[in-house]
Structure 1
Amino acid sequence: MTLRTIDEVLRKASFFLRQHQREERVAEWLCMHVLQMDRAKLLASLRDPMPENTQAQLDELLHQHAKGQPLQYLTGQEQFLGRTFSVTPDVLIPRPETEELVMAVEEAIKDVFPGPPATIVDIGTGSGIIAVSLAGTYPHSSVLAVDISADAIAIAKQNAARHNAHIDFHHGSLLSPFIEKGETASVIVSNPPYISQKDWEGLEETVRQYEPKQALIGGDRGVELYEQIASQLPSVLEKPGIAAFEIGYDQGASVSKIMQEAMPHASVRCLQDMNHRDRIVMIVQ
């Protein structure tokens, strides 16, 4: 049997994805994944034959992606603020909007604290992208992360170890583990589930079928978890302190009101993302 070259396989894979209305460039990313090559090496190896077993592996991944399986779950990883994170269907796929949340928190810390904050808490850590990123920026801060999903915590621990981030993980709901222990925090940050049940039903099929529903839906109205967090904030957030939350594009006013009512003497403002949509509610006291 004559083996096809990598270039021939790549062209065929791109055509296959185009036929199934999928992004053609995914073929290149999957080739890099199965061949364990970076892009420069892949391009330099286009005339080389592709091993038969590797081609079979690629074909299987292509068919899974054609059915809707996200690329990140097929390769098991995604980039976030320059770091590579492991992802599985137990956690959400990292998104650029959350990168903006982390950067906004870092800017707020510069304005509020003379040095690194003493304690940072990440609520609903998922894959650990927020906690690991902040632990990397503030290695002398105590970083804690909580999630209601034990499976998500397992992935977050892998990512913390991968990036040598020292994080204290807690299995529990929102800020409850810290309230029970009487612990407080200088910075509280979260990208909680904020999609309403109705909006979830209208999401892309690839999201509804493959990403964890528990990490997406925030209740019938989408803001229920913000209400729960707001009721807990006064018991945990120190003064001076910062709390920052990623929100849905249409939740700026409602979440800001929830937080202002819970923290009447704090400064509450809504920040927009790169697409000029409401994306972050920032509380400073």
Structure 2
Amino acid sequence: PYHIGSGTAEFGNGTTTVQAQIVASAMSTELSRVSLRHGDTDAAAYDTGAFASAGTTVAGKAVHGAALRLRELLVEAATTLSGRDAADVRLCPDGALVDATVIGFGDLIAAVDAEHRQESATGPRVVATGIERGDLRSIAFNVQAFRVAVNTETGAVAILQSVHAADAGTVMNPQQCLGQVEGGVAQGIGSALYEEIMLDGKGVPLTPVLRTYRVPQMADIPVTEVMFAETSDRLGPYGAKSMSESPFNPVAAALANAIRRAIGTRPYETPMSRDRIWRLGRT
């Protein structure tokens, strides 16, 4: 029975799943009873944008605020109907549980003040709004380590081991967050070792297609061992921090450090391609 209107847009990082989880947790219901409409100004009038790691810590916090307000309204309605204190009311998937009696959503909605009710195609509903502008946000921390082997005859770099530690606060969805870390590391390896736009001296790209613009293949990407720090952030919903782009950040530096230890010379230019590493090995 719960419907979320979120201004932010989903682009594959799992924002919508996490926002639905936030509402399900706040309303003590099942995830299957939560639906979400996003990226639509008819659903939410304004959003700061789906960028800068804002999906959970900004949009998610706004959703959390709206869910807490809605919970408060439903609990107040249950106290009015039952005559009991708010501490005696527990929300459940079918309404509000007071002692052994479940007060259904129809009765709860009818008992909510009219200013918080709204007519819809499916009947009256209670509406609550949450706003978060992202003025106060914590920073995620990421550490990357590599073990590499460098072929000094060809300059080829082989990644033998990849380990990543991330501080995402309370990890809202471990599988999705794991995927973000693995994807960030893979993208970082691409920019650190392979990807380069080459120009002809007049500004015309010499690498206009993926056949010439080298991106990592599956065989180039190692399995990354991912470890999440057990922390909780007081600013984020349920103690969560952002993750998004941050796993990308330490990858190139960690690879450069590993290559320096292998050949004795530090690379300062990316991508650390075979020709550049071959030349460094001869300095």
TM interval, shorter chain, is under 0.3
Q: When the two structures are superposed, what TM-score results if normalisation uses the length of structure 2? A: 0.26
Q: Which has the larger share of helix?
A: 1
Q: When the two structures are superposed, what TM-score results if normalisation uses the length of structure 1? A: 0.26
* RCO comparison, higher one (Cα < 8 Å, 6+): 2
